[in-house]
Amino acid sequence: MRRLIKIYDTTLRDGTQGEGVSFSMEDKVRLTSRLDALGIHYIEGGWPGSNPKDLRFFRRMQDTSLKHAKLAAFSMTRRAGGPVESDANMQALLDAGAPVATIVGKSWDFHVTHALDTTLDENLAMIADTIAFLRPRMEEVMFDAEHFFDGFRANRDYALRTLRAAEAAGAHWLVLCDTNGGTLPHDLVAILKAVKQHVKTPLGIHVHNDAECAVANSLAAVQEGVGQVQGTMNGYGERCGNANLVSIIPNLVLKLGLDCIPEPNLRELRDAARFVAELANRTPWSSQPYVGDSAFAHKGGMHVSAVQKHPETYEHIDPQAVGNHRRVLISELAGKSNILWKAREYGIDLERETPDSRRILDQLKALEDAGFQFEGAEASFELLMERALGRHKPYFELEAYRVIVEEQHHDQEPVAEATVRVRVKGILEHTAGSGNGPVNALDHALRKALEEFYPGLRTMKLLDYKVRILDESKGTAAKTRVLVTSGDGEETWGTVGVADNIIEASWQALVDSIEYKLRRDERSPA
């Protein structure tokens, strides 16, 4: 039977201490449900004694049945010099109704005397009193030994005394915290070996990422016998973040062969990570190990060729094991393998050793040399392939466009107006549109000309617009690359334009975006 490692998620509390991360009470309810479905063992919902929102969350959760996880409420020990029975934090813990209490206490003598401003003996009494009070009233009581590794290095005997005080009072878990996140793996392992000689209670690990070692430290602790790992989804947390459970979980299951969350649930890991990012209003980290968009993305032609033959040549796991997928990128580094892969993805029949594939590759490299970039603009690349193969059917023809930006009053925003003359199905359309900028005005004018003929365009929206200056030394005369992201509620796609004139580059990207939409609608009629 494989060894079981319990996962303790503190995204809802410690994760929200990260800069820019905040969850409403409803967000926390939804996140709890999602983490429970993933198979997390403990979900720390917050600190009910610190703010009304967390207390409301716990009361709301009292009517909710979790299938897998236990809900944990966080708190500090009783206050110095006061009785535990009347401590406000203890009452809030009991009112929360969570089955698990996680108590943080100081294990570094420096913090006791300079942060708590109390004596070392009183701190030991605070730890013991709190845990002894909660033990008969909760299903589980955990002791988070804050700053343990720094405390151990500063005063080994006192750090160990804090653990023994918690153990003697009945703590179910002793969780060793690298709160400042500066401990390196070899040092952490040496300290763990020493700790195991002095306490018998099961150990947990809670580390931060200030030295970029949080995941490595967590795995090292597990290999030293630690049975519980605390962390956050996507590594959110104060300063540089907490240990990233999205990396730790697959490492435990797929690399170390340990029980953790149910292995079939790993296929939900990418979706869960992105769900958390969405509620945190954070852009998903594209290079995040295991679940990021780039985690299994291949760009070099030699790499793509090898992966087609044997995926393990450049992939350390099957991406589907964590709910991810293989991607092939298109750039000047591409080879025929990239082109053929993308052709299959787009449903284009293309053979390897043909003039067509060589022509597409040559055009691609020429365009990339001119400043085009197709990694984030695969819709433009699909159209490029169709044009190179002589299969592209233009849905309209441009005769002329004009853009005017006028500032009428110095205390008002400038007004942008665009006029467009296009021929659609043999009919000349001459339309005008205004917008909050020249590109927006062009978009409005072009849509006005086309929507009568192609009503499906009404569902399409411009979602993002990025401008990149390609040769900065030329200043305002520099060549410009524009990347446009569009969507219609069903799909999102990217297009690109490059020109010396930013309006022309924008026009190219807009036209590609509209033609991609029309081409897709024609192939998949409603």
Highest mean pLDDT (candidates 63-67, 249-253, 323-327) = 249-253
CB atoms within 10 A of CB 7: 22
DSSP H helical ranges for 12-66:
25-38, 52-61
Q: Which residue has the tokens 């597409």?
A: 360
Which residue in 321, 161, 182 sits closest to 250, CA to CA? 321
- Residue 172's domain is classified under what CATH number? 3.20.20.70
Same domain, 498 and 413: no
Distance CA 366, CA 364 (A): 5
Is a pLDDT exceeding 50 seen at residue 333? no
Q: 261, 288, 308 — which closes off a domain?
A: 261
Q: What angle do CA 268, 270, 274 make, to 5 degrees?
A: 115
Return the pLDDT at 344: 63
Is a pLDDT exceeding 90 seen at residue 189? yes
DSSP 476: G
pLDDT tens column, 159-184 = 999 999 999 999 999 999 999 999 99
Q: 230, 261, 292 — which closes off a domain?
A: 261
- Residue 409's domain is classified under what CATH number? 3.30.160
Mean pLDDT computed over 253-266: 95
All residues at 6 or more sequence positions from 296 whose CB lies less than 8 Å from its CB, including other chains:
315, 319, 324, 325, 326, 327
Per mean pLDDT, which range of 65-79, 82-96, 103-117, 484-498 is the poorest?
484-498
The one-letter code for the residue type at 256 is: L
Between 36 and 485, where is the model more confident? 36
**Between the CA of residue 92 and those of 75, 139, 270, 487, what are the distances in Å?**
9, 16, 35, 47
Same domain, 465 and 406: no
Is a pLDDT exceeding 60 seen at residue 329? no
Return the pLDDT at 51: 87
Cβ contacts of 413-418, under 8 Å, gap ≥ 24: 416/440, 416/441, 417/441, 418/442, 418/444, 418/445
Distance CA 474, CA 289 (A): 38
Per mean pLDDT, which range of 82-91, 127-136, 485-494 is the poorest?
485-494
Return the pLDDT at 25: 87
- Residue 385's domain is classified under what CATH number? 3.30.160.340
295 SS3 class: coil
Same domain, 422 and 508: no
Radius of gyration of the chain (CA): 29
Between 380 and 267, where is the model more confident? 267
Separation of first and last alpha carbons in the chain? 52
Q: 261, 286, 308 — which closes off a domain?
A: 261
280 belongs to a structural domain = no
Contact 51, 13 (CB under 8 A): no
**Total number of domains constituting the chain:** 3
pLDDT tens column, 355-370 = 776 777 677 667 766 7
> For residue 261, which phi and psi values (nearest 5 degrees)?
-75, 160
332 belongs to a structural domain = no
Is a pLDDT exceeding 50 seen at residue 332? no
Distance CA 487, CA 467 (A): 19
Same domain, 438 and 521: no
Same domain, 446 and 523: no
Distance CA 185, CA 218 (A): 9
Q: Which domain holds residue 435?
A: 396-453
Percent of the chain with pLDDT over 90: 59
Contact 511, 379 (CB under 8 A): no
Q: How remote is the C-alpha of 26 from its chain's centroid? A: 20
Same domain, 254 and 356: no
Return the pLDDT at 35: 97
Which residue in 23, 138, 142, 27 sits closest to 74, CA to CA? 142
Is a pLDDT exceeding 90 seen at residue 127? yes
Is 409 exposed, middle or buried (CB count within 10 Å of its CB: 0-12, 13-18, 19+)?
exposed
Which residue in 394, 395, 447, 397 sits closest to 418, CA to CA? 447
Mean pLDDT computed over 132-136: 98
Distance CA 32, CA 63 (A): 13
